[in-house]
């Protein structure tokens, strides 16, 4: 679940908790963490600042949680999107991973 609320005139605050599990028997490293706002399969905006330059180590066979609370100064990002995604890449081979966090509905993400 992702919570989206008005923050100030034209500004939007969003927050969520992302739970990840590494089913491998070795640690996996993720980088280039992003929150993407999409319309269909196409990104409207990729928010690289939601995580900063943080890399995440996924311990073997364990869950971790990432808490996100971030804002954008462009409401059009939300009104032009129909879904919100978490994306990351594996360190080393840069395999891009993506998980849908939320559908924003038929109203184009209007809140």
Q: How far apart are CA 91 and CA 55, in angstroms?
A: 9
User: What SS3 class is residue 35?
Assistant: strand
Q: Please, which contacts does 71-76 make with residues 24 or more away whose CB atoms are closer than 8 Å?
A: 71/7, 71/11, 71/12, 71/13, 71/14, 72/11, 72/12, 72/14, 72/45, 72/47, 73/10, 73/11, 74/10, 74/12, 74/45, 75/10, 75/11, 75/12
Residue 111's pLDDT is what? Answer: 43
Tens digit of each residue's pLDDT, the chain (111 residues):
555 555 666 677 888 899 999 999 999 999 999 999 999 999 999 998 888 888 999 999 999 999 998 888 777 888 889 999 999 999 988 899 999 998 987 554 444
Residue 11's pLDDT is what? Answer: 76
CATH architecture of the domain 2-103 equals Sandwich (2.60)
Residue 108's pLDDT is what? Answer: 45
- The conformation of residue 109, written as its DSSP 8-state character, comes to T
Residue 65's pLDDT is what? Answer: 94
Residue 66 sits at the vertex; the CA angle it makes with 62 and 67, to the nearest 5 degrees, is 145
Residue 41's pLDDT is what? Answer: 92
Tell me the domain boundaries of the chain: 2-103
Q: pTM of the full predicted structure?
A: 0.81
Q: How far apart are CA 26 and CA 41, in angstroms?
A: 32
């Amino acid at each position: 679940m992702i919570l989206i609320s008005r923050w100030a005139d034209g500004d939007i605050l969003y927050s969520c908790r992302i739970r990840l599990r590494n089913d491998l028997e070795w640690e996996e490293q993720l980088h280039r963490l992003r929150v993407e706002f999409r319309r269909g399969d196409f990104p409207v905006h990729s928010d690289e600042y939601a995580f900063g330059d943080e890399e995440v180590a996924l311990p073997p066979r364990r869950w971790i949680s990432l808490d996100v609370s971030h804002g954008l100064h462009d409401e059009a990002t939300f009104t032009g999107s129909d879904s919100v995604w978490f994306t990351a890449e594996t360190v080393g081979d840069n395999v891009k991973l993506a998980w849908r966090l939320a559908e924003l509905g038929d109203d184009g993400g209007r809140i």
